[in-house]
Amino acid sequence: MAYELESKTPGSNHDGVAPISDYDRDDANLQRMGKKPVLKRNFNVLSILGFSCTMLGTWEGVLGGGSGGAIYSFIFAWVGTILMFIVFAELASMAPTSGGQYHWAAMLAPVKYQKVLSFVTGWLAVIGWQAALAASSFMTGQMIQSLAILGNQLYNAQPWQGTLIIWATLSLSLIVNLIGGKLLPRIEVVVLVLHILGFFAIMITLVYMAEPNTAKEVFTTFQNGGGFSTQALSWFVGMTGSAFGFAGGDGVVHMAEEIAKPERVIPRALMLSVAINGCLGFGMIVAMLFSAGPDLGGQLGEITGYNFMGIFMEATNSLSGTIAMCSIVIIFYGCAVMGLLAAASRQLWSFSRDRGVPGWRWWKQVSTSRLLPVNAIVLSVTISTLLGLIKIGSTLAMYDVVSLAVSGIYLSYLVVAILLLIRRVQGYIYHTSDSEDELVNVPGAKLVWGPFHCPGVLGIVVNALAVVYITIVVFFSFWPSLMSPTVEEMNWAILGVGATMFLTMVYFVFRARHIYTGPVVEL
């Protein structure tokens, strides 16, 4: 049953006359964008910062492309993500709704193209987020199996066992998300603390116990394991691994209608999370590469499938110590799945609210008891559960789901970044609205900057550089990791995106164009 907004808001007296409160202001701002406030605002600055840091989770390090390749690709991705997050912060400050990219596309696009651009962007986000949830669950399960191999090399990991672990991870995340209330925000605060403490626990152990490499070995060594024609091409292909470490930054945006003061809190959470995760991630990469042998994890890295496990073992020469360090990483990945489910389900719920997906009447409903989009949460888990079956047939195919997540999410970023750049160059975004009751930042309405934005030429430069960075990531996210891949080694993400977009446009032509009009003005 769909939740209907009551006349009384939080903090109202028995006569229904509410004193002005933060909740009232937040709901009023949401209503100015035409949306009913139906979700409870349980997240504050600290809990949403923990949520955002968990979604990024970059400190475990990226080792693809050799020592120098890993360090410089991480720096490139970090700087590019900062530019990209500034754009997100501006847009979230303007229109903090759970819809995120497709809402922004609709409000920024020319009237003639609003419907189709918003629809396509919404589906790119759906593809990306649902694939990201499945990919994170898969990687968690894969790490657990690798840890079992590390502890007992006689263990014969079976694909079906990995699928069961994926399902177990999703089940735990489902329970946490369905309980609702303050549980998830409190978990995110705890995870934020563990995120930082876990970093120091691993980094200090590595630096203290490992035989260090020289600075020359760490900062000037490059590898071309994929057999590409040039080192630069190899570097750009490997760089997408670092980009994946920063993917999902818009997750906090999709929680906007559950955050107090979202127009201010979301930009702060975005910028703080990219600063915290960037610093921790860079520190971890440097520490691991100073601790690693020349083959980055050696035979044990190949056996487990994760170089960092081999590096931990080489550094500590202790099986129990390595298992403890790896367990910290795995626990963090498992916690990230909880946040990914929350964000993916909110994005799906919001798009359903605006009639963008088949069966939207069912998926848009909000539980009147929990004040949560329960149906969208269950559907998201079901999709990832079915995708988890792919692992039984091919583990390599599951890695294509990871690429699909990067491609889908970054393509949705690219659409809105380009549209924002066009609008700001044209000067069509204003600093104030005519009245507090005026609809703003919805299709056809006046565009008004929020509390956070980069002014003038600086904003244009930052926006343009963000477009360049996102374009590079999208282009190379479709490349295989080897120059001459076999059918199994091929990156099929472009086929996944293309096929889904084809089916999406078929649905649009025959059905959605008659019912989808962009973000629906409910008030």
Taking only the tens of pLDDT, the chain with its 523 residues reads 333 333 334 444 444 444 455 667 788 888 877 778 888 888 888 888 877 777 665 554 443 444 556 788 889 999 999 999 999 999 999 999 999 999 999 999 998 999 999 999 999 999 999 999 998 899 889 889 989 988 887 788 888 999 999 999 999 999 999 987 788 888 888 888 888 898 899 889 988 888 888 877 777 777 766 677 777 888 888 787 778 778 777 889 999 898 988 999 999 999 998 998 888 888 888 888 888 776 666 677 777 778 888 888 888 888 999 999 989 888 888 888 999 999 999 999 999 999 999 999 999 999 988 889 999 999 999 999 999 998 888 887 787 888 888 889 999 999 999 999 999 999 988 888 766 767 788 887 889 999 998 989 999 999 999 999 999 999 988 888 778 788 777 888 888 889 988 999 999 999 999 999 888 776 6
- For 51, the enclosing helix (H) or strand (E) is helix 45-56
Q: Determine the Cα–Cα distance for residues 128 and 122; give it in Å rounded to an integer.
A: 10
Q: What is the CA radius of gyration of the chain?
A: 23
- For 316, the enclosing helix (H) or strand (E) is helix 307-316
Residues 6+ apart with CB under 8 A from 252: 48, 51, 52, 55, 259, 266, 269, 270, 273, 343
Residue pLDDT, tens place only, 16-37: 444 455 667 788 888 877 778 8
SS3 content of the chain, % helix, strand, coil (to 5): 70, 0, 30
User: CB pairs under 8 A, 24+ apart, for 501-504?
Assistant: 501/120, 501/123, 501/124, 504/119, 504/120, 504/123
**CA angle 36-38-39, nearest 5°?**
135
Residue identified by tokens 């609210």 is 353
Residue pLDDT, tens place only, 308-366: 888 888 888 889 999 999 898 888 888 889 999 999 999 999 999 999 999 999 999 99
Q: Which two tokens stand for residue 30?
A: 């949401």
- The reported pLDDT for the residue numbered 115 is 93
Domains in the chain and their CATH numbers? 42-513 (1.20.1740.10)
- The reported pLDDT for the residue numbered 307 is 80
- The reported pLDDT for the residue numbered 8 is 38
DSSP state of 18: P
| DSSP code string of 342-370 | HHHHHHHHHHHHTT-STTHHHHT---TTT
Which one-letter amino acid corresponds to residue 409? I
What beta strand segments (E) does 424-513 contain? 429-430, 447-448
Phi and psi at 41, nearest 5°, equal -85, 90
DSSP state of 19: P
Phi and psi at 317, nearest 5°, equal 55, 35
Q: Determine the Cα–Cα distance for residues 487 and 299; give it in Å rounded to an integer.
A: 25
Q: Determine the Cα–Cα distance for residues 450 and 440; give it in Å rounded to an integer.
A: 11
